[in-house]
Structure 1
């Protein structure tokens, strides 16, 4: 068996966090109050007459006058559990059953969201070795040791056409593999190969939640692929980060140019799509873990998680314990609720909890003011700029005559949709405070209003944490200290002006690594004597493969496409 320390290479760059929230499953007036629940059973109560877990669950439900054909969503044979869409009067029946160990509503979780191998010391000058890569480097021990290791990734699916899943030179799929490449919408089973050896999707929990909340795709929800196809991009990014093949000349519109490769290029990838537009339902996650165990994965990677909860009531902890019992190595993200103490998620001792740190690479950009001051920030903007010509700098632009836009009272300082008056910002650089809506949406709001640039300034909530974004217009993100000085200048100088310029990709940044401000911290709120996170890996501005159906910003109005994207730890709409 591959030594545990070698398996760390699979997920050191697949980091960040998420927060579990209760799913409000409001019903339309007069409709049945169906709600999805996860039910954990006591296997000691399984009668010898029941040949399988599925037979037992179906029989038990029928004994309580619950029709499994109408209500059962999933059977989890490896986890001794099931998920079902239940009516209110079903709940006391199940809770009073001696065979039921635990019952709770299906929780909704959200996703946590090239240079990494070299920075981690996985690449060395070429030397004689049975395993070498095409980029002029080799890493004999980790790659040889991880050959034929199967990494299961639970996320938003996969974009199989990406070069990161090229199987050139890989041997046949290990005969012990029991998984499948499921056919679905825009996804043929032939898309899997010797690198991407499996792809499944699980959506019954998601569909039940959509029905319970009377939501429809195509209205306030984007259209989903009912298949392993990744429309979001995050699943493709995490899978290729863990075990993607080497791809030369990879970049995001010229940023971070080089060879993109996963932590373990010799490993196999199996993806389990459990996350959808509204998030990741616990029932779908458990189905993915249960399937991965049965399929024969060696490693499970989850860039999602929940808030701290006792292990006996934590779905992720329970499911990963079953995986660990079968010898599966489990890596989970620590969360993105830092720097608050005690915010770490996924704290079970049988999983390795990974925090987010920086690389020695940065993407500097600069705000040059009419006063002569110059402030450094970050940006991944790659389009045309205004050159060296300064433009008027505005902050909290005034409202229009209708009073609908502008003014601090209507949040023009936050650049929320509908708050900027084009007459006030056209042809100008707009200073926006970070918060409420996503960073990239603020830039889109400024662009729609006719602005020629944006300075995105942190407030006390984010401090000096900087995350680069591929904005739709020239934009620079700065920390709170620089932001306060720029805000002061814009308020006091009636002729405030600014021009933005961009420094591309810079290597050798020191100090590094540094724990990211958003990375969740210990101590472990569930069991303080168990130190968490266990390790920190690259989780800021990571270049990896991307979905062909998603823009780098994730905005519907962004028509750009790139085979690679640069992401940082949080993969919720970043604030």
Structure 2
């Protein structure tokens, strides 16, 4: 499936946010919020005491009876500039000021809505060895969660046996009527909220969580050990986050309507200034060029300060080109299954059994009895909304005592389960509780967004997958497990699914790796995850393809000792953007650095970014029958001082792949060596607009470590 070119998308965006100066009569002057990027080398005039005064003065010069007021002033920790509501005319005038670099439209993002530690091989707090012990359970690390806030009184956030807050921490806890500053402690070290971009009206104007999503993701990343833990009688056992002793800093950026870029960027800026070590973001939106993407910009600013950023891949699967948060400096996480499920069979009156899953906790249906089965779209309500079983759309009198079949659709979480089980046909439901040892596992969840990467096809996304289906984690006491107002049940834990749940698994694991290897860069941590990931399920079968799972499923224990890493600096990313044909001004918007692209473009192509995976798209133009490309990579020895690695290359089917040299001889830890992989292929017979993806891999092995990178080749026939 072909995607619109970045240039075409950019032109659409520019014409949509800025009016034509030649036709003022046609201008729609309805104000919109813009994020204003200020030149990083622009110096604040000394006449102004603060940057806020300077920026407000800039707004005073705009044509308006009263100048617009600032929404956010960004400190410069992750982004240099401010956000403000402007008319299109005012936006044009502001853009013309010499210290203004660019204007980004404020976009709305959406949330990408315990057995996982055991499934990942992390064991329990009594382990005598392994990643948990070597990292002291992440004790001195701070994980920032940008989400819907937190419910601080949950058992997962208790302070028992935690040492004092790390002295490097510079953050704070806001004080509001429903969230006093005493809510923070040695576990929850910081809590702030950002709602200026979206003025919430019916929610806590504080870091307190009125949705549940933020509490859930925070406890996945860094929840303490809690036993017994379950929800509605399901998934009973020990609950724990990935980094049980890591500290949490919560930045509430998501509200009922969603999460606005201006607030997200303010949270990035605050988190970097506060001194966090990891940022976890289970939020996403449409893919746009990086210089128009506030998450990509904020994440770059964090990465530039040595902060690891992980983000959810999105829930748009299983279709291709659905992955979000695709910048190469972000670790993009898809969702896989656990070896645990909650089986429930629908047994039809004709004897046919349809397997499914359920966490229904009420009384079971009468054994041997069947109930009328009705379709909500035609028999139980008003059509479209009833077909999705939206709350209030079904006729209670009609559906009472029946089993209602709904379409999968937009309704949130478990709302479809709130209708009582509502002529022939008939059916019954048999609930079977919790089942362990499920095979196959892991499997990439159907909803998990897939590649290829729509913005940078030569960067394989998602990067990897982690548990994201039916995840048990902490839940606010004032939010029902279904999230439906008419549901008055409460629970300490809840089960949710989504790449939102997969992302904080990797965030917490990154805290463990950073604690065990404080000298590792964010790119080195990502590399350790990717090159040690596995692609074989518990039946010994290979999981689908790399556009689904990237490098594979995260393997924490092996990531602790990867042998070699593919490291990157901020200047490597600048070269990547140059080779991606970004202008030097657009690169400055993302990186806050001046870029001279002439040297970078002479040196190679965007696929030569020192990434732990290798991907290329061949456009089958003209009469050329053979095509080839090369990947130049540099690996850094983080294993044994003296070691020899030999390469094994498995080419994509029907293609040829070679590596030079075939051996890498290291003399010391920290030594860097280069190699080159060349891939050759012939033109494939494809229909106009068609494409085919094939994959192989390269493994560097010293007998102890296996450093694996996928090689993915896409052949595409133009229309």
- What is the TM-score of this pair, normalised by structure 1? 0.77
Instruction: Work out whether residues 203 and 255 of structure 2, in 8 Å CA contact, stay in contact via their aligned partners in 1.
Output: yes
Superposed CA deviations along residues 361-398 of structure 1, whole A, max 9, x for unmatched, are 10001112222222211000001122214233232479
Instruction: Work out whether residues 396 and 412 of structure 1, in 8 Å CA contact, stay in contact via their aligned partners in 2.
Output: no
Q: Partner residue of 2:336?
A: 357
Superposed CA deviations along residues 401-437 of structure 1, whole A, max 9, x for unmatched, are xxxx648x66754444565445543322222232243
Decide which of 40, 45, 48 is 1:43's aligned counterpart: 40
Q: Partner residue of 2:95?
A: 95
- Are 2:404 and 1:430 aligned? yes
Structure 1 pair 56–325 and aligned structure 2 pair: CA distance change class (3 A): farther
Deviation at 1:495, TM superposition (A): 3.9
Structure 1 pair 426–238 and aligned structure 2 pair: CA distance change class (3 A): closer
Question: Structure 2: where are the runs of 5+ without partners?
Answer: 1-12, 18-27, 502-719
Superposed CA deviations along residues 37-65 of structure 1, whole A, max 9, x for unmatched, are 11111122334636754343234333446
Q: Distance in 2 between matches of 1:399 and 1:36?
A: 43
Q: Partner residue of 1:206?
A: 198
Superposed CA deviations along residues 419-458 of structure 1, whole A, max 9, x for unmatched, are 54455433222222322434633333x33xxxxx26xxxx
Deviation at 1:312, TM superposition (A): 1.2
SS of 2:414 mapped into structure 1: helix
Q: Distance in 2 between matches of 1:233 and 1:419?
A: 24
Structure 1 pair 342–422 and aligned structure 2 pair: CA distance change class (3 A): closer
Superposed CA deviations along residues 34-91 of structure 1, whole A, max 9, x for unmatched, are 4321111112233463675434323433344679985101111220121112244321
SS of 2:355 mapped into structure 1: strand
Instruction: Work out whether residues 111 and 570 of structure 1, in 8 Å CA contact, stay in contact via their aligned partners in 2.
Output: no
Matches for 1:221-240 after TM superposition, within 5 Å: 223-240=202-219
Decide which of 155, 168, 181 is 2:173's aligned counterpart: 181
Q: Partner residue of 1:105?
A: 105
Superposed CA deviations along residues 222-266 of structure 1, whole A, max 9, x for unmatched, are x20011110101000011100111111011011111111110012
Q: Partner residue of 1:554?
A: 483
Q: Partner residue of 1:373?
A: 352
Instruction: Work out whether residues 370 and 390 of structure 1, in 8 Å CA contact, stay in contact via their aligned partners in 2.
Output: no
- Are 2:461 and 1:532 aligned? yes
Q: Distance in 2 between matches of 1:33 and 1:433?
A: 38
Larger Rg: 2
Decide which of 29, 33, 56 is 1:58's aligned counterpart: 56
SS of 2:230 mapped into structure 1: strand
Q: Partner residue of 1:144?
A: 136
More deviation in 95-104 or 431-440? 431-440
SS of 1:43 mapped into structure 2: coil
Structure 1 pair 558–377 and aligned structure 2 pair: CA distance change class (3 A): same
Q: Partner residue of 1:440?
A: 414
Q: Distance in 2 between matches of 1:521 and 1:399?
A: 33
Q: Distance in 2 between matches of 1:198 and 1:255?
A: 32
Q: Distance in 1 between matches of 2:414 and 2:460?
A: 36
Decide which of 60, 70, 73 is 2:71's aligned counterpart: 73
Instruction: Work out whether residues 391 and 429 of structure 1, in 8 Å CA contact, stay in contact via their aligned partners in 2.
Output: no
Superposition RMSD on alpha carbons, in Å?
2.8
Q: Which has the higher contact order (CA 8 A, sep 6+)?
A: 1
Structure 1 pair 46–505 and aligned structure 2 pair: CA distance change class (3 A): same
- Are 2:419 and 1:498 aligned? no
Instruction: Work out whether residues 391 and 427 of structure 1, in 8 Å CA contact, stay in contact via their aligned partners in 2.
Output: no
- Are 2:264 and 1:285 aligned? yes
Superposed CA deviations along residues 164-217 of structure 1, whole A, max 9, x for unmatched, are 11011011011111111111131110111101111011111111xx6xxxxxx4
Question: Structure 1: where are the runs of 5+ without partners?
Answer: 1-19, 25-30, 130-137, 211-216, 218-222, 448-452, 455-493
Q: Distance in 2 between matches of 1:178 and 1:426?
A: 56
Q: Partner residue of 2:84?
A: 84
Q: Distance in 2 between matches of 1:46 and 1:36?
A: 25
Q: Distance in 1 between matches of 2:285 and 2:425?
A: 45
Structure 1 pair 68–535 and aligned structure 2 pair: CA distance change class (3 A): farther
Structure 1 pair 551–412 and aligned structure 2 pair: CA distance change class (3 A): closer
Instruction: Work out whether residues 232 and 549 of structure 1, in 8 Å CA contact, stay in contact via their aligned partners in 2.
Output: no
Deviation at 1:141, TM superposition (A): 4.1
SS of 1:45 mapped into structure 2: coil
